[in-house]
Chain A
Amino acid sequence: MSDITHSAPATQDTSATVHTTATAITPVKPWKGYQRIAFRIAFVFFIIMCIPTSWNWYTHLFTMDWLHLKYRDVYDIARFQPNLWNIESESGRWGIASYASWLAALGIAVIGAAIWTLFDRRKEYNVLYYWLRVIVRYRAGIGIIGFGYTKLFPVQMPYPSISNLHTNFGDFTAQKIYWLSIGIVPWYQVFAGIVEVLAGVLLFFRGTAAIGAVLLAGALANITFVNFAYDGGVHVYSAYFVLLGLFVLAYDIPGIYRLLVLEKYTVPVHYYPSFKEKWQQYTRYGLKSGAIILFVLILFYLQMWNYLYDPYKQPVTKGLADTQGYYNVTAFRLNNKVIPYSPLDTVRWQHVTFEKWSSLTYQVNKPVWLDLSNGGGSPKNDVDRNFELAGVAGGRRFFFYEADTVKQELVLRDKNRSAVNQGRERQRRNATDRPNTSKKKDPLFVLHYEKTGPRRIILYGLNENKDSIYVILDKVDKQYLLSPGNISAGQY
Chain B
Amino acid sequence: MTHPANLLPPQTWKASWKVLFRFVFIYFIIQCVPLDIRYFVGLFHIHWLELSFRDIFYLTRYSPKFVSGNAPFNSFADWGIAAFIALTGTLVWTYFDKARQQYNQLYYWLRVIVRYRLAIGVIAYGLLKLFPQQLPYPSISQLNTQYGDLSAWKIFAMSTGVVPSMEAFLGLVETVAGLLLLNRRTATIGAGVIITFTGNVFMSNLAYEGGEYVYSFYLVVLALFLLSYDIIRIISLLTLEQPTAPNTVRPYLPQPWHRGLKFALKTLFIFFFVGLYGYKTYASYRNAGYQYPKTPGLEHAAGIYNVSTFRINNQEIPYSLTDSVRWKDVVFERWATLSIRSNRYVHPDLADTEEIYTNDADKNYELAGSVSRHYYSYGIDTGRQIIFLQNKNRHHQREKLVLHYIRPDSSRIILSGTNEKQDSVYAVLDKIDKKYPLIEGRRKPLKL
Q: Give the residues in chain A near B97, CB-CB below 8 Å.
A: none
Considering only residues 129-179 of chain A, those with a C-beta below 8 Å from chain B are 160, 164-175, 177-178
Determine if A208 and B3 form an interchain contact, defined as CB atoms under 8 angstroms apart.
no
In whole Å, how far is B190's beta carbon from the nearest beta carbon of chain A?
11
Bound-complex Cα distance A168 to B149 (A): 9
Contact A18 B447 (CB under 8 A): no
State whether A174 touches B442 (Cβ < 8 A): yes
Q: Report the Cα distance A207→B240, complex, angstroms.
A: 7
Residues of A close to B320: CB separation below 8 A: 341
B394 to chain A, nearest CB (A): 17
Chain A residues near B329: list those with CB within 8 A: 343
Tell me whether B243 and A225 are in contact (CB under 8 A): no
Question: Chain A residues with Cβ under 8 A from B206's Cβ?
Answer: 187-188
Q: Please tell me if the beta carbons of B246 and A226 are within 8 angstroms of each other in the complex.
A: no
On chain B, the number of residues with a Cβ less than 8 Å from chain A's Cβ atoms is 77
A433 to B306, CA, bound (A): 47
Known: A265-B245, A268-B243. A483 touches B209 (CB 8 A): yes
Query: In the complex, which of the residues A94, A173, A187, A231 contacts B207, with contact meaning CB atoms closer than 8 Å?
Result: A187
Q: Is B1 within 8 A of A94, CB to CB?
A: no
A185 interfacial contact with B, CB 8 Å: yes
In chain B between 165 and 196, which residues have their CB closer than 8 angstroms to a CB of chain A?
165-166, 169, 185-186, 188-189, 192, 196
In the bound assembly, the distance between CA atoms of A332 and B279 in angstroms comes to 60
Q: Distance (Å) between the CB of B129 and the closest chain A CB?
A: 13
Question: B142, A169: Cβ atoms under 8 Å?
Answer: yes
Whether a CB of chain A sits under 8 angstroms from the CB of B318 is: yes
Contact across chains for A260 and B437 when beta carbons are under 8 A apart: no
The reply to whether B234 and A256 contact each other, CB–CB distance below 8 Å, is: yes
Contact in complex: B442, A369 (CB < 8 Å): no
B310 to chain A, nearest CB (A): 12
Which residues of chain A are near B434, meaning CB under 8 Å?
170
- For the complex formed, measure the closest distance between the CB of A412 and the CB atoms of chain B, giving whole angstroms: 22
Contact B306 A344 (CB under 8 A): yes
The answer to the question of B255 belonging to the interface, with a C-beta cut-off of 8 Å to chain A, is no
- A166: chain B residues at CB < 8 Å are 146-148
Contact of A342 with B203 at beta-carbon distance under 8 Å, contacts A174-B442, A270-B241, A483-B209 already known = no
Q: Which residue of A lies closest to B234 (CB)?
A: A256
B438 touches A177 (CB 8 A): yes
Please pick, from A18, A342, A370, the residue contacting B446 in the complex, using a CB distance under 8 A. A370
Closest A residue to B446 using CB positions: A370
Q: Are A263 and B438 in contact (CB under 8 A)?
A: no
Instruction: Say yes or no for A482: interface residue by CB 8 A criterion.
Output: yes
Chain A interface helix/strand/loop/mixed: loop
Q: In the bound complex, how far is the Cα of B66 from the Cα of A446, in angstroms?
A: 67
Residues of B with C-beta under 8 A to A18: 241-243
B138/A211 in contact, CB under 8 A: no
B151 and A177 contact, CB distance less than 8 A? no
Give the distance to chain B from A127, nearest Cβ to Cβ, in Å.
16
Which chain B positions have C-beta within 8 A of A124?
A: none
Partner-contacting stretch, out of B44-52, B156-164, B352-360: B156-164
CB of A180 to closest CB in B, whole Å: 7
* B433 → A minimal CB distance (Å): 12
Distance in Å: Cβ of B434 to nearest Cβ of chain A: 8
Interface flags for B29-42 (1: CB within 8 Å of A; 0: not) read 00000000000000
A166-B147, A170-B438, A482-B152 are known contacts. Are A9 and B1 too (CB-CB below 8 A)?
yes
Question: Quick one: which of B152, B237, B245 contacts A185, CB cutoff 8 A?
Answer: B152
Please name the residue on chain B nearest to A392 by beta carbon. B437
Question: Is B253 an interface residue when CB atoms closer than 8 A count as contact?
Answer: no
1/0 per position for B119-154, CB-CB distance to A under 8 A? 000000000000000000010001111111111100
B217: min CB distance to chain A, Å: 14
Nearest CB in chain A to that of B445: its residue: A422
Which B residues touch A489, using CB under 8 A?
none
B143 touches A343 (CB 8 A): no
A24 nearest CB across to chain B (Å): 14
Bound together, the chains give a CA A187 to CA B348 distance in angstroms of: 24
**Residue among A175, A188, A395 with most chain B CB within 10 A:** A188
Contacts of A188 in B (CB 8 A): 203-204, 206-208
9 A-B pairs with C-beta separation under 8 A: A9-B243, A168-B147, A174-B438, A188-B203, A230-B163, A255-B238, A260-B189, A262-B185, A343-B319
Using A9-B243, A263-B185, A343-B319 as known contacts, list a sample of 12 further A-B pairs with CB atoms less than 8 Å apart, ordered by residue number in A: A168-B144, A168-B147, A170-B142, A185-B208, A188-B208, A229-B163, A230-B163, A262-B246, A268-B244, A368-B447, A370-B448, A481-B369
User: Taking beta carbons and an 8 Å cutoff, which residues of B are in contact with A?
Assistant: 1-3, 6-7, 138, 142-152, 155-156, 158-159, 162-163, 165-166, 169, 185-186, 188-189, 192, 196, 203-204, 206-209, 230, 233-234, 237-248, 306, 318-322, 328-329, 348, 369-371, 434, 436-438, 441-448
